[in-house]
């Protein structure tokens, strides 16, 4: 087997293996959730009330101190900042939520550094493969953990969402994050935690959306095509 064929075969095998073993595919974007999904904006919650609650979307939300629904900002949490249409579909009656600091009820996880069990649990009504979330002031110590029953499917930290998870409380710090489970994986419970103050989020969406092709495979296809073109050009040069 020629060297170029060996390289191509090795790259394909590596990419397919990595894709097969990745439970969750993550992308942080400016825009919001795809259309046609079940959405939840938490606006029926009363700030400060930590009673376990069944929400209109079918999600059951529960809290461990000092997590809670809140509004506004203070020294422990900051409202997510909407921009670029990432509030589409989350306003009253399915309208768009206005750009700017989030003026509606949102969720803070509190800090496991202050309260060891601090967390927010979103129990979904069924097994799903897609979850979207408006993730405010992304920090690398924020974590979303996905479960199928008691089994951990995978976890996403702020560093998987953006290359600069520095807690920016302005327009550049909030992203709408799309998370897809790979084929053969699904989840029915999402747990949000943060080792420091805090993890703030709003406007979640969920459903059984098809999982897109991993970016790594698309890039691989471009690289393989490039190798083949180089090989053909060299062969043409030598034959000429």
Query: How confident is the model over 102-124, as pLDDT tens digits?
Result: 999 999 999 999 999 999 999 99
Rounded to two decimals, the pTM is 0.79
Q: How far apart are CA 85 and CA 81, in angstroms?
A: 11
Q: Using alpha carbons, select from 48, 81, 90, 84 the residue that is nearest to residue 67.
A: 48
pLDDT for 209: 60
Tell me the backbone φ, ψ of residue 92, rounded to 5 degrees.
-55, 130
pLDDT for 183: 85
If asked whether residues 126 and 198 sit together in one domain, one would say yes
Mean pLDDT of the chain: 82
If asked whether residues 48 and 152 sit together in one domain, one would say yes
Query: Domain count of the chain?
Result: 2
Q: How far apart are CA 135 and CA 80, in angstroms?
A: 7
If asked whether residues 15 and 30 sit together in one domain, one would say no
pLDDT for 240: 52
Give pLDDT < 70 ranges for the chain.
1-22, 30, 209-240
If asked whether residues 10 and 102 sit together in one domain, one would say no
Note down the domain range covering 220: 1-22+214-240
If asked whether residues 193 and 234 sit together in one domain, one would say no
């Amino acid at each position: 087997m020629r060297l170029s064929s060996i390289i191509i075969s090795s790259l394909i095998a590596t990419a397919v293996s990595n894709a097969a073993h990745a439970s969750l595919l993550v992308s942080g974007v400016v825009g919001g959730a795809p259309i046609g999904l079940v959405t939840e904006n938490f606006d029926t919650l009363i700030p400060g009330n930590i009673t376990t609650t069944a929400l209109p979307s079918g999600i059951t939300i529960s809290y461990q101190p000092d997590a809670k629904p809140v509004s506004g900002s203070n020294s422990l949490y900051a409202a997510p900042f909407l921009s670029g249409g990432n509030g589409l579909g989350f306003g009253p009656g399915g309208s768009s939520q206005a750009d700017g600091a989030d003026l509606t009820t949102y969720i803070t996880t509190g800090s496991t550094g202050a309260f060891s069990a601090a967390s927010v649990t979103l129990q979904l009504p069924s097994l799903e493969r897609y979850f979207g979330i408006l993730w405010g002031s992304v920090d690398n110590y924020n974590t979303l953990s996905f479960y199928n029953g008691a089994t951990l499917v995978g976890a996403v930290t702020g560093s998987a969402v953006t290359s600069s998870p520095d807690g920016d409380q302005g327009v550049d710090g909030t992203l709408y994050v799309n998370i897809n489970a790979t084929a053969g994986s699904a989840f029915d419970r999402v747990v949000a935690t943060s080792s420091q103050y805090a993890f703030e989020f709003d406007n979640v969406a969920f459903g059984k959306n098809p999982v897109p092709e991993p970016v790594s495979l698309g890039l691989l296809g471009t690289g393989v095509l490039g190798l083949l073109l180089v090989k053909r050009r060299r062969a043409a040069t030598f034959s000429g």
